[in-house]
Chain A
Amino acid sequence: MTEAASLRPLESPWHARLRLWRRSLAANWELFKESKIGLIGLFIIAFFGLLSISHPILMATVWDRQVYDPVHGFDWEVIKAGGQNPAPPSLRHLLGTDPWGRDVFSQLAYSARTEFFLGVMAALITVIIGTFVAAISAYYGGFVDTFFMRTADVMIMFPPIAFLILLSAIFPLSLWSFVLVLGVLYGFGTITIVLKSQALSIQVKPFIEAAKVSGGSSLHVIFSHIIPNLLPLSFLYMMFNVTNAIFSEAVLSFFGVINVNMSWGLMVQMAYEAGYLTGAGITQAWWLFFPASLSITALCAAFYFVGRGLDEIVNPRLRKI
């Protein structure tokens, strides 16, 4: 072998990996930028991100805890000025107050954080489970495969919301347990079937055989070859699952079966309970349900849009020349 080659200084693999990662991020951004719908989604997500950050900042600086706490707050000023709750939007209360005198904007901003947390966490759990299950059942086949695929069939037939309502009757659902149950339920569902079919097509590629000829173990093949090639699709599905989780939470909060301080779904539910969502009440206090339901729709749509934008990167077949 040539001595010269070993004498030349080489870039260390870790440094190179960082450089490549940055470069691929830039390249993917170039592709993502092309998708208008994806950019719109990203913009909406950024807006809600700012909204959720604004809450603790305003709480610590401008807002009086007594008045603006989303759960316990009460503003005497409204009563003193001769008004009554729910009060319409004003400079002091940007989105008015609810029937119990609490600030609606504060509730909306506070809930945004909750929505992000539960959406992303539930989706992350779903995708991690889905990716592993898909890779394992594609690789091993046979009984393992049959077991997970039949489980997925059951999960698909199974209405998760009905199940969660049933579950909440047995023990109170906190936000954490809701996220966990939802994540796990979806993790064994449709996503495993989609990811498994992708894993199967990866698994027949000659680079898998090349890894085996080198003496690579099953774990090496799964973790070093199958899963990295599954990840782009997993990430795409994660976006769609965030939408799913936020929507499910809204529905369940509306039914009042989740133990959560404040959320958009709960806001709509409270408006309903107080009679402002039915009959003549609906015209009286739009600020009680409209901002919350619009937020649910917008954030769900935003994650879906980002997913669509990522689709262009993940599925090069859709790419325009």
Chain B
Amino acid sequence: MAVKVAAETLLRVENLAKLFPVQKGLFRRAREFIHAVDGVSFEIRPQETLGLVGESGCGKTTTGKLLVRLLKPTSGHIYLNGKDIAQLEGRELKQFHRTVQMIFQDPYGSLNPRHTIFQIVSEPLKVQGIGTVLEREARVAQMLELVGLSPAESFLFRYPHELSGGQRQRVAIARAMIINPSFIVADEPTSMLDVSIRTGVMKLMRDLQKEFGISYLYITHDLAVARYMCDRIAVMYLGKIVELGPTEAVIQNPLHPYTKALISAVPVPDPERGRPPVALKGEVPSLADPPPRCRFYDRCPIATEYCRTHDHPPLEEKAGRHVACYEA
């Protein structure tokens, strides 16, 4: 199937889905499926940062892993520069891994404790067979300077445990940048860092984006962080995108009731400013075999009979943005 891709799109996701079987009892046949990602579509433009925001378990990390093909989608398409990479295997998959990278949440777990910083940062080059050892070393040194670990030679042959959390995350960023990817999935890269260190890492990621022309999928649970990092925001709930639009528009004027609740639940660091109460019932329901109605129905303050009897609303354009709600 030939798909026309607009020139300004780097990555296009169509109806992406990932189901995980739930194994029950002795019989190995899975009867139920966890719908971790359930028909997600969006686009990422060159040099753009798209924020993927949602609560834990909403499927945002699974989406990220699908895009870098750490996981194989159950169905759907992922077009990178017009080529569908959703089902790639073997040599082609390895070739694809030259163009994408991922930055992980945990700066302690994402670096092999038995490798030196040089081994860690040069790994993508080594795996892809780029350059000789000495060439790689020079390149790693340059990259370390670029991410603010200077002088590089004092970091090259140290182990991760000798570095602070902020420095480790800079190492992780250096590793992601070293093969010059066009697209990086950043999974909560600053959520485990302290406030005074976090800002520096966020700024570094933006600076590198400009310098190398990278696009980010920035996964976070923190809308305030997303506001500073992202050009557009997609809000996920139970495996579905419920709202997608330019950052400021979504934050200043959320359309979906879930986005509204999410925004009003964030504490305000200003004692003089109040915030509206969160109008939301219950807790996040299970992802296993959801019933055919709006996923948000059980908790929605404005749900109607129509929402209960009809399947989850499609993501439709409303007022210049995309919202999946019958009532918005």
Contact = CB atoms under 8 A, between A and B. Distances in A.
B102 A211 contact: no
Given A206-B109, A207-B112, A10 B141 contact: yes
Contacts of A220: 127
A209 interface: yes
Contacts of B105: 206
B134 interface: yes
Interface stretch (A11-19, A82-90, A157-165, A298-306): A11-19
A8 B134 contact: no
B149 to A, nearest CB: 11
Contacts, number: 105
Interface residues of A, number: 31
Given A5-B152, A6-B141, A216 B123 contact: yes
B255 interface: no
B113 interface: yes
B204 to A, nearest CB: 15
Interface string A206-247: 110111111111001000110011000000000000000000
Nearest to A208: B112
Contacts of A6: 138, 141-142
Interface string A257-283: 000000000000000000000000000
A229 B137 contact: no
Contacts of B104: 206, 209-210
A12 B138 CA distance: 10
Contact of B116 (A2, A16, A207, A215): A16
Nearest to A209: B70
Interface residues of B, number: 45
Contact of B134 (A12, A209, A224, A229): A12
A207 B65 CA distance: 14
Contacts of B278: none
A30 to B, nearest CB: 15
A1 B137 contact: no
A217 B98 CA distance: 13
A20 interface: yes
Contacts of B128: 214-215
Nearest to B107: A206
Contacts of B179: 214
A80 interface: no
B146 interface: yes
A contacts with B: majority SS: helix
A16 B127 contact: no
Interface in B69-109: 70, 93-95, 97-98, 100-102, 104-106, 109
A176 to B, nearest CB: 34
Contacts of B159: 20
A320 interface: no
Contact of B112 (A1, A12, A20, A229): A229
Contacts of B175: 210, 214
A299 B204 CA distance: 57
A317 interface: no
B157 A16 contact: yes
B97 A215 contact: yes
B111 interface: yes
A317 to B, nearest CB: 15
Contacts of A16: 116, 118, 156-157
Contacts of A13: 118, 133-134, 137, 157
B213 interface: no
A224 B102 CA distance: 19
B146 to A, nearest CB: 7
Given A10-B137, A210-B175, A1 B118 contact: no
Given A206-B109, A209-B102, A210-B175, A2 B145 contact: yes
Contact of A213 (B101, B134, B138, B146): B101
Interface string B114-132: 1110101001100110000
A215 B94 contact: yes
A225 B120 CA distance: 11
B160 to A, nearest CB: 9
A283 B179 CA distance: 77
Interface in A4-40: 5-6, 8, 10-14, 16-17, 19-20
Contacts of A11: 153, 156-157
Given A6-B142, A229-B113, A214 B127 contact: yes
Contact of A207 (B93, B100, B110): B110
Given A5-B145, A11-B153, A210 B102 contact: yes
- Ranked nearest first, the 4 interchain pairs of A and B with the lowest CB-CB distance are A215-B97, A214-B124, A206-B110, A16-B157
7 contacts: A2-B142, A10-B141, A10-B153, A209-B102, A214-B127, A224-B123, A228-B114
Given A206-B106, A209-B70, 16 more contacts: A2-B142, A5-B142, A6-B138, A8-B153, A10-B137, A10-B156, A11-B153, A12-B134, A13-B133, A16-B118, A17-B157, A206-B105, A213-B97, A214-B124, A214-B175, A229-B114
